[in-house]
Chains A and B, each alone.
Chain A
Amino acid sequence: MNRPAGRRGSIRYTAVGTGRPVLVEQIYLISLLLITGIILIALETTALSRIRIPLFGWQAAAPSLGLLFSMAVGFLHGEREGGVTGLLCGWLSDSTTGEAMMLFPLLYFLCGYLSGTVGKRRLAHNLPSFGVFAAVGGGLKCLLAVLSASVRLGSLPPATWVWRGLIPSWILTVLFSAVVYGIVKGEQWILKPKA
């Protein structure tokens, strides 16, 4: 593998083995990531928004696939890719919620970027490490939801809403981290130069 030192996880090395220019490789990557991101967010807001966990009163909850995807891209490809993906996925996710203030682009960007920088320097690149990131990212999203609700209501939101709405969503986010990690890993394998 011809990986430049200090760029572990970045896509820049892929151009070395394929013989294709770096720009083309970047276009491939961006297209693939964009399509995957759109599909994941569409799934998050439709098919996967009806998942019910019995312990939490059978209320529907959805995993934050957009957030997971941003973090996985940052974790496996690099902070730049993670940041841009986070920005786009946050924008798309917020487009479906109809919130007055679009804060998800900011959150997703920070999560995607930081998972790239912190993951590269502090943690091994494997699934358990990403699981930790997913748990923290999911927690931050829940915190943001609580803050938004508090601002709207003028007081703390009801505990039932947190118990039946946010915690199932956080659990699902952590559980689905393995799936999203696998998807991004698979994409990385597709773009990787073959011997």
Chain B
Amino acid sequence: MSRIKNRFFIACLSVALAIALFTGVFAVMGWGSLLQKVGSAALYPFQWVGAKVGSGVSGFFSYFEDIDSLRQELESLREENESLKSELIDAEILADENSWLYHYLSMKEEHGDYSLCAASVISASSSSGEGGDYALSLTLNRGTSSGVQTGMPVVTSSGLVGVVVETGINHCLVATLLDTSVSVGAVTTRTTQNGLCEGDYGNLHDGCATLRGLPEESDVAVEDIVITSGRGSVYPYGIPIGRVVDIRSNAYSRTTEATVEPFTDFANLTQVVILTEYIHYVDGYENTQGGSP
């Protein structure tokens, strides 16, 4: 048994030595080793699979190897994100301001006869409704020091807001169109029928006003546009008020009433314009020259 084992050992050892010797000699002679080529060819398919598996595993573990750099990157990205958020807020504010100034400029160009005073809303007294909180009164950052007086109309580029009812040195209080104490002489553009546009408790939760005093046989219709008529010497002629959304008859006063949805968004008012001076027209005809409210 021992002899067999020794024979086996000697045979294998001889083979191993022969492999080493011949490959070495062939390499010195400049011939590539056939044995190596055969071995490589046999291994190649398995190595190909192994390389695929290895690259997948390596990709997985490289995540953990790079964890420190990823953490640092995450931290810097967070800081950048905060900074960008702040810049975005600034940009939004600037965009709002830009939009407002654009409308303000448009108003000045459109109404050369108006003297305008831009103002910001400091605070608002609101009534909650389905579409949000509708402002009933506004406090603006302009007062008598800016030439603001009681009774001056307040508008936006969209339409009428209300009227100044109280002034301080550097602030003023505005009652909006939705306030029940405000009445605006109004006219429908299509039928030229006059009425009074007022705040109404019944329509307050919808953010709407009511146009009263229309003749019983009035042919006012839904979608008719309502503007200021200039009657009453407070509001200049032609300021858009809103659009008729509903019509009903008042049997007691024998008149027609219309619900008017204002063009001004009373839920999101931030910038307004006070009309400090304007040429007064009534129903499109000049009434006083260089008048003021």
Contacts and interface: CB of A to CB of B under 8 A. Distances in A.
Interface of A: 38-39, 41-43, 45-50, 52, 79-80, 83-84, 87, 90-92, 94-96, 98, 100-103, 105-106, 109-110, 113
B43 A95 contact: yes
A143 to B, nearest CB: 16
Contact of B51 (A47, A52, A105): A47
B36 A109 contact: no
B40 interface: yes
A49 B54 contact: yes
B251 interface: no
B54 A105 contact: no
Contact of B9 (A42, A83, A105): A83
Contacts of A43: 50, 53-54
A48 B65 CA distance: 16
B24 interface: yes
Contacts of A49: 54
Contact of B12 (A41, A47, A113): A113
A91 to B, nearest CB: 5
A92 B37 CA distance: 10
26 contacts: A38-B42, A42-B46, A43-B53, A43-B54, A46-B47, A46-B50, A46-B51, A46-B54, A47-B53, A47-B58, A49-B54, A79-B9, A87-B16, A90-B16, A91-B19, A91-B35, A92-B39, A95-B39, A96-B40, A98-B36, A102-B19, A102-B36, A106-B16, A106-B17, A109-B13, A113-B12
A96 B43 contact: yes
A183 to B, nearest CB: 15
A83 B12 contact: yes
A120 to B, nearest CB: 11
B43 A41 contact: yes
Nearest to A79: B5
A110 B16 CA distance: 9
B122 interface: no
Contact of B20 (A45, A92, A105): A105
Interface of B: 5, 8-9, 12-13, 15-17, 19-20, 23-24, 27-28, 33, 35-40, 42-43, 46-47, 49-51, 53-54, 57-58, 65
A143 B49 CA distance: 31
Given A105-B15, A110-B16, 4 more contacts: A46-B51, A95-B42, A106-B17, A109-B12
Contacts of B20: 101-103, 105-106
B209 to A, nearest CB: 76
A102 B33 contact: yes
Among B16, B53, B58, B65, chain A packs the most CB atoms within 10 A around the CB of B16
B43 A45 contact: yes
B12 A102 contact: no
Contacts of B8: 80, 83
A84 B43 CA distance: 18
Contacts of A102: 19-20, 23-24, 33, 35-36
Contacts of B12: 83-84, 87, 109, 113
B39 A96 contact: yes
Contacts of B46: 38-39, 41-42
B13 A101 contact: no
Nearest to B54: A47
A172 to B, nearest CB: 15
Contacts of A84: 12
A25 B61 CA distance: 41
Given A83-B8, A83-B12, A101-B23, A50 B39 contact: no
A159 to B, nearest CB: 26
Contacts of B40: 95-96
A96 B41 CA distance: 10
B43 A101 contact: no
Contacts of B23: 100-102
Contacts of A100: 23-24, 27-28
A191 B292 CA distance: 110
Nearest to A60: B58
B136 to A, nearest CB: 70
A91 B50 contact: no
Contacts of A103: 20
Contacts of A38: 42-43, 46
Contacts of B57: 47
Contacts of B5: 79-80
A110 B46 CA distance: 26
